[in-house]
Amino acid sequence: MERIKIRDKFFVPYITNRQIMSAVDNVAEEINADFENSGEVPIILCVLNGAIIFTGHLLPRLRFECELAGIRVSSYKGTVSTGNIREVLGLTTDIAGRTVIIVEDIVDTGQTISKLCKNLEDRGAKDVRVCTLAVKPDIYSNERKLDYVGMEVDSKYLVGWGFDYDQMGRNLDAIYVLDDKPFNKMKYYVLLGPPGAGKGTMAKLLVEKLGYRHVSTGDLLRKEISAGTPLGAQAKILIDGGNLVPDEIVIGMIRNEIESNPSATGFLFDGFPRNVAQAKSLDDMLQQMGQSVTRAVCIYVSDEEATRRIKRRALIENRMDDTDESVIANRMRTYHEITEPVIKFYKDCGKYFEVSADSTIEENFRRVSKVID
Ligand code: AMP
């Protein structure tokens, strides 16, 4: 089981399906012990929607006659308990003189359940019992006796096996807990430097060494071009001329890469940010996640050496923008005029490091590793 993302939040594994099943077995046996030979026909009252899955597993394990009914109450909005019970979907079964077993997914403060019990007693129920898959003992007020409890859980926000986050995640076959520090160990490195300096080569070696995710906006754009997407068609004209593609396109790509790789331990941005506006957007994006750029590392070589390397790469990678002298010259100009100010941006926030990449790949990698480790 891995960390998962639901809407804007991350959740980590908490209770396995096997543990849940064993809790359901235990609870079912406790209820059977009370009702199997009692002659009673209790009403099993499923509290919708959360307890649907629990009820669905519990019912076939009960070895006595019973009726099934549902009621919908609500006390949650988002991840914060409001404490107010609202009966949304009324109970249609006549419960006067009957034994009712409320089936809940979770009891936290206990306010919802005690109000519900009182409501059922006011309607004339003979005996009201509470069965819950889980209880949060840290915050449970003990206002009302819980007759059948599957498991005790921490007072954290749970999702899966009936528990939802804004109606999502109920279908997960295990229970997950909110990961409130999802990116704690995450590293974000920015690789700067002129085209042809070897950022991609260094990034690939760093990925092998550290397991971080290499995000090259150039590679992502080239993928769009080969897939023949409208975005690719728009990017191709700009790339072939040695010009930058619009900021919102690359920023969207970066956001998508971060959000769709929640289990990454770090990111190496190669060819991004390409101007100060992109650097600021990256800062804002990471800030919203409680994160920040770890370091910006400039891998530099002279323009002459960069141009030589680009021409050598043209023979291997078949890139249009690597073959034409005037396009290469335009990319160099773009780098000096538009991308170089990014260096000052990171210098100003004390995150800037530079490495001369004028040696062999092995030596250059040793130098870069020193800064990144
Ligand atoms: P690269 O593979 O990094 O040399 O990028 C190839 C081309 O893709 C660049 O010359 C730009 O046209 C485009 N590109 C890559 N990254 C960016 C970016 N961050 N912002 C704008 N354009 C980009």
Question: Rounded to the nearest whole angstrom, what is the distance from the C-alpha of residue 272 to the centroid of ligand 1?
Answer: 8
Q: Which token pair is 45?
A: 């009252």
Which tokens is 200 given?
A: 């991609």
* pLDDT for 185: 62
- Strands (E) located in 179-258: 187-192, 213-216
CB of 27 closer than 6 angstroms to any ligand 1 atom: no
* Residue 178 and residue 156 in contact, taking contact as beta carbons nearer than 8 Å: yes
What is the dihedral sign for C-alpha 33, 38, 39, 40?
negative
* Range from 120-134, 171-185, 257-271 that averages highest in pLDDT: 120-134
Sign of the Cα pseudo-torsion (156, 160, 162, 164, in order): positive
Length of the chain measured in residues: 373
The first and second tokens of residue 253, run together, are 């790509």
Amino acid, single-letter form, for residue 293: V
Q: Check residue 365 and give its pLDDT.
A: 97
User: Does the structure show a pLDDT above 60 at 188?
Assistant: yes
Q: What is the pLDDT of residues 201-255, one digit of tens each?
A: 999 999 999 989 999 999 999 999 999 999 999 999 999 999 999 999 999 999 9
Ligand 1 pocket residue status of 269, Cβ below 6 Å: no
Task: Report the nearest-CA residue for atom 14 of ligand 1.
Answer: 218
* Ligand 1 midpoint to CA 244 (Å): 6
pLDDT tens digits along 22-61: 999 999 999 999 999 999 999 999 999 899 999 999 999 9
198 C-beta closer than 6 A to ligand 1: no
Asked if 244 contacts 330 with a C-beta cutoff of 8 angstroms, the reply is no
| Alpha-carbon gap, residue 358 to 361, rounded angstroms | 9
Which of 274, 278, 285 has most ligand 1 atoms within 8 Å of CB, for mutation?
Answer: 274
Side chain identity at 243, as an amino acid letter?
Answer: N
**Cβ(102)–Cβ(113) under 8 Å?**
yes
Query: Does 153 sit in the ligand 1 pocket, CB within 6 Å?
Result: no
Residue 184's pLDDT is what?
Answer: 57
Q: How much is the pTM?
A: 0.58
149 to each of 102, 104, 116, 332, 345, how far by Cα in Å? 12, 10, 17, 68, 57
Q: What are phi and psi of 147, to 5 degrees?
A: -80, -40
Residue 88, H or E segment:
strand 80-89
- Token output for 250: 């690359």
